[in-house]
């Protein structure tokens, strides 16, 4: 947590405020908690960003990416797409990180505030992180390309054929394979369980034992579940940590069918209860009757 739908919701939440704005000031908030990593370091991060213009807010798997260019070196009528990228801020929320445009859930866990200026109108968004495991990295275009190379095809873009290629090569359980970010980008523990339940495939199946039909169903459910979760602005679990940019709860937790439902009667078959097993140190939830 947060996974692709939550990160996509964060991107969409700050995009209207950030796109086209100049970063007037980067403020590291006074925070007495464990400090979050800022790479290369706080001084260079601030120096490398202040004064630049945000051309685009996008996403690579479970990271928010803020693309920056230097507007001062170009004539006013130059199209942003024609101007070279000066740097990219890559924000990885990890466990409890959030991007907010509204007031944060607590003031004690505010980390970094990006003060913006859009046609002389000030605005801002901030990074908030309760546990402090999130990271902020200022990358060069080359470093950003390297990052994209290391991550598999985005879960919303991957084809049946691409999933089949890596499944045929490994006997690891399909649940574990879906979490491997070098093969497919964006799926985490929560959505992997929900996707496999809807695809009616056991999380313990060796990936290379799956039929073409099963792989097809998995690809379909990846799309359906993630897009539905984005429409619902992500999942806010019992701990209440995940919030939208406006500091509101997501809604997809009300659509979960198996995640964190150990012992509940399966909603599909009404015969078996949902079981919890541990795979690669992570909890998996499934119905042994519906998933084969």
Residues tagged active-site: 2-3, 62, 282
Closest separation between CB of residue 284 and Zn ion, Å? 15
Tokens 């992997």 sit on residue: 192
Separation CA 51–CA 21 (nearest Å): 10
CB-based contact 99:247 (threshold 8 Å): no
By CB under 5 A, residue 289 contacts Zn ion = yes
Closest separation between CB of residue 266 and Zn ion, Å? 3
| Per-residue binder mask for Zn ion (CB under 5 A), 215-254, x = binder | ----------------------------------------
By CB under 5 A, residue 287 contacts Zn ion = yes
User: Which is nearer to Zn ion, 227 or 265 (by Cβ)?
Assistant: 265
Closest separation between CB of residue 254 and Zn ion, Å? 19
Closest separation between CB of residue 289 and Zn ion, Å? 4
- Using the rule CB under 5 A, which residue among 266, 284, 285, 286 binds Zn ion? 266
User: Which is nearer to Zn ion, 255 or 289 (by Cβ)?
Assistant: 289
User: Which is nearer to Zn ion, 152 or 203 (by Cβ)?
Assistant: 203
The 8-class DSSP code of residue 40 comes to S
Closest separation between CB of residue 267 and Zn ion, Å? 8
The 8-class DSSP code of residue 86 comes to E
* Distance from chain centroid for Cα 217: 23
Separation CA 172–CA 155 (nearest Å): 19
The H-or-E segment that residue 149 falls in is helix 141-150
By CB under 5 A, residue 290 contacts Zn ion = yes
Give the CB-nearest residue to Zn ion: 266
Separation CA 261–CA 291 (nearest Å): 15
In 174-290, which residue ranges form alpha helices assigned H by DSSP? Answer: 174-178, 189-199, 212-231
Q: Which stretch binds Zn ion (CB under 5 A): 97-105, 242-250, 256-264, 270-278?
A: 270-278
Size of the site for Zn ion (CB under 5 A): 7
Burial of 212 (0-12, 13-18, 19+ CB in 10 A): exposed
User: Which is nearer to Zn ion, 163 or 199 (by Cβ)?
Assistant: 199
Which residues in 171-210 contact Zn ion (CB under 5 A)? none
- Using the rule CB under 5 A, which residue among 44, 165, 227, 269 binds Zn ion? 269
Closest separation between CB of residue 283 and Zn ion, Å? 18
CB-based contact 56:18 (threshold 8 Å): no
Q: Which stretch binds Zn ion (CB under 5 A): 78-86, 213-221, 249-257, 284-292?
A: 284-292
Separation CA 80–CA 249 (nearest Å): 34
- Rounded (to 5) percent helix, strand, coil in the chain: 30, 25, 40
CB-based contact 125:114 (threshold 8 Å): yes
Tokens 């968004």 sit on residue: 125
- Using the rule CB under 5 A, which residue among 46, 74, 94, 268 binds Zn ion? 268
Residues lying near Zn ion in the complex (CB under 5 A): 266, 268-269, 272, 287, 289-290
């Amino acid at each position: 947590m947060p996974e692709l739908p939550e990160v996509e919701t964060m991107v969409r939440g700050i995009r209207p405020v950030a796109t086209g704005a100049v970063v007037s000031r980067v403020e590291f908030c006074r925070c007495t908690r464990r400090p979050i990593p800022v790479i290369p370091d706080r001084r260079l991060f601030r120096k490398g960003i202040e004064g630049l213009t945000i051309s685009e807010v996008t996403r690579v798997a479970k990271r928010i990416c803020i693309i920056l260019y230097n507007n001062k070196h170009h004539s006013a009528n130059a199209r942003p797409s024609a101007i070279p990228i000066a740097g990219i801020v890559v924000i990885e929320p990890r466990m409890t990180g959030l991007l907010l445009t509204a007031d944060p859930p607590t003031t004690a866990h505010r980390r970094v505030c990006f003060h913006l200026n859009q046609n002389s109108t000030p605005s801002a968004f901030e990074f908030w992180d309760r546990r402090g495991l999130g990271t902020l990295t200022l990358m060069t275009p080359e470093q950003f390309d390297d990052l994209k190379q290391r991550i598999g095809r985005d879960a919303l873009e991957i084809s049946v054929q691409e999933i089949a290629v890596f499944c045929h090569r490994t006997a690891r359980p399909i649940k574990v394979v879906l979490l491997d970010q070098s093969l497919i980008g964006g799926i985490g523990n929560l959505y992997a369980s929900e996707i496999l339940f809807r695809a009616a495939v056991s999380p313990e199946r060796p990936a290379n034992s799956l039929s073409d039909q099963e792989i097809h169903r998995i690809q379909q459910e990846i799309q359906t579940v993630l897009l539905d979760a984005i429409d619902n602005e992500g999942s806010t679990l019992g701990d209440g940590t995940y919030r939208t940019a406006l500091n509101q709860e997501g809604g997809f937790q009300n659509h979960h069918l198996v995640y964190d439902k150990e012992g509940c009667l399966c909603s599909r078959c009404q015969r078996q209860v949902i079981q919890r097993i541990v795979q690669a140190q992570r909890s998996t939830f499934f119905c042994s009757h519906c998933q084969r």
